[in-house]
Structure 1
C-alpha cells in the first residue's frame, strides 16, 4: 500500500526575531512527518558558530545552539527509516548521526562540556505503516489524530502540566525568572540519565526511552503535530480542547489564525506567574497532514 500522506498546512511562529528554535518537516513519499522544538540555551558557552561571528562569512552560523540542533535533527529526519527498522532503532541512528555532526561542527570540544551545555530538543516523529500510524516522541511535542470521526491525543500531557506547575512555583519565589533559568540549568544537567527526563540530544541511548504509540486508521485521517508552544492553546490557556483544536485546524487556512490567537493570549507578562510561563511567548510550530 502506498503511504498516501498529503501535506495540508503548517505554521512556524518564533517568539522573537529570527527563525527561532522550532522546526517541522514531512515526506509525502515516505509517509513521514515531524516537529522539533529546540530547547532554549541555558548553558554558559556556545558550542556552534554564532551568526556573524566570522567576519569573512557574516551570514554563516546559528542564532543559538538550540537552532543548530533543531536544524540538523529536522534535516536528518528527511532520510526515512529502512522498511523493517523499528522506530526506536531509527531514532537511535538519527541521534547518532546528529551527534557525529555536532562533534564536527562544534567550536569547542564537545566531550569536555558539562551536560547542561549540550543542545537538546523535544520532538515527535510519525510514519504510516500500511493502515497504522506510528508515533515516536521524546520530550513535550504532541500530536492530535482524527480518524474515523474520533480524536486521539499522542504525547506526554503529564509532563507538560508538571512543567507549568513547576514554573508557577518557581516564579512565585523571590528569585523569579532568574531562579527559573538556574533551575532549568540544573534540570538540563540531568537530562538523559536514570530518574530524569529523556530528550533528543547527543545521547543515542535516549532512543530506547522514546514513547511509541500506534493508532489504527479507520478511513479518512488527519494528523496535527505541534510543539508545546503551539499546544499552549490547549494547555495551559484552555482556549481549545483537543477535539475543537483539531476541528479548527482542518478548516482551510486556519493555522495562521490559531497562531494569532496564541500570540494574543501572550500579551501580558504579568500573567506568567498565574499561568506558569517561564517565557511569556514561546516559539510555536505545527504541521497538518491528511492520510488516505
Structure 2
C-alpha cells in the first residue's frame, strides 16, 4: 500500500494561526486551538503553544506505537499537563485547549478519531462518503462565553484536549478496512465550511480537494466568507483553516510504484 499526502494551513486573515498539522508515513494529525482569544486561562502559555506541543507529542507517539488512538491522545495530554502544571492553573476551564482530528493507516485498517468539531471525511472505493466528527459543540444549550466555559469538558457539554486526559475517552472513533478506502480528508472546522455552511456536497468538496489541492479549498473558503453577511452564521466570520488529503494509490500506478521504490 502506498499513500500520498498533501496539506495546507492558513491563519484567520490578519491573525495568528492556532491550527497545527503533522503528517507521518501512515498518519495525519490536525489540531485547532479551541480557547477563546482573551479568555483568562490561568496559563502562562498561549493556545498556539499548547497546540504545537500537543501535536509534537501525538506525532512522536503515532510513529512509535500501535496503541489505540484514544490511548495515544490520553497519554499525550497527560504528558503535556505534567509539563506545565507547576506554572499554570490546571483547574481553570479556560486553560488552553484544542480539538484533535487524526487518521492512521495501519494493520489493514484506516482508523480515525475526532475530538471536538474537527471532521475526518472518508471516501470509500465504491463512492460512499462517511463524515466522522464529534459534533457536541453544535448542540450546546447556550453559546455565551460563560455557558461555554461551564460546559467545556463536561458530559453535559463537550470535550476537548486541555488539562483532562480522560477527554480522549469521549472522542468519536471509527475504522474502515484499508482496501475499501479511496481517500481521506482530515480538516479543522475552518476548512470544512464549504459543506457545513455554504451548501457544497461532500462529494464536490472531495473532488475539488483531490483535483486542485488543499490550498485551493482554503482559498475558496475565504472567497465564500468575504461574501457572507455579518451575523449570517453563529461563530467567527473567519477561522484558521487546515486541510490534509490522503490518497490511497492503486497498485501499479506510477505514483504507487515511485512511493514503493
1-structure distance, mates of 2:122, 2:134? 15
2-structure distance, mates of 1:27, 1:235? 28
How much does 1:260 deviate?
Answer: 1.5
* Aligned-partner SS, 2:76: helix
Match of 2:43 in 1: 47
Root-mean-square deviation (CA, aligned residues, Å) is 2.4
TM-score (norm. length: structure 2): 0.84
Match of 1:259 in 2: 218
TM-score (norm. length: structure 1): 0.76
Structure 2 unaligned residues grouped into runs of 5+: 250-261
8 Å Cα contact 1:36/1:121 also seen in 2: yes
Structure 1 stretches (4+) deviating beyond 6 angstroms? Answer: none
How much does 1:158 deviate?
Answer: 4.7
* Aligned-partner SS, 1:146: strand
How much does 1:139 deviate?
Answer: 0.2
Matching of residues 1-292 of structure 1 within 5 Å: 4-7=2-5, 9-28=6-25, 31-39=26-34, 40-45=36-41, 47-49=43-45, 65-81=46-62, 83-103=65-85, 106=87, 109-111=88-90, 114-116=92-94, 118-156=95-133, 158-159=135-136, 161-162=138-139, 183-218=144-179, 221-238=182-199, 240-251=200-211, 253-267=212-226, 271-276=229-234, 278-292=235-249
* Aligned-partner SS, 2:203: helix
* Aligned-partner SS, 1:110: coil
How many residue pairs align between the two structures? 247
* Aligned-partner SS, 2:60: coil
1-structure distance, mates of 2:106, 2:169? 20
Distance 1:256 1:87, change over 3 A: closer
8 Å Cα contact 2:124/2:181 also seen in 1: yes
2-structure distance, mates of 1:247, 1:91? 30
Distance 1:199 1:158, change over 3 A: closer
Question: For 1:123-172, what per-residue CA distance to the aligned partner results, in whole angstroms no more than 9, with x for missing partners?
Answer: 11121123210111210001111231424233337546547xx7xxx8xx
8 Å Cα contact 1:43/1:185 also seen in 2: no
How much does 1:284 deviate?
Answer: 0.7
1-structure distance, mates of 2:186, 2:66? 24
Distance 1:218 1:92, change over 3 A: same
How much does 1:18 deviate?
Answer: 4.8
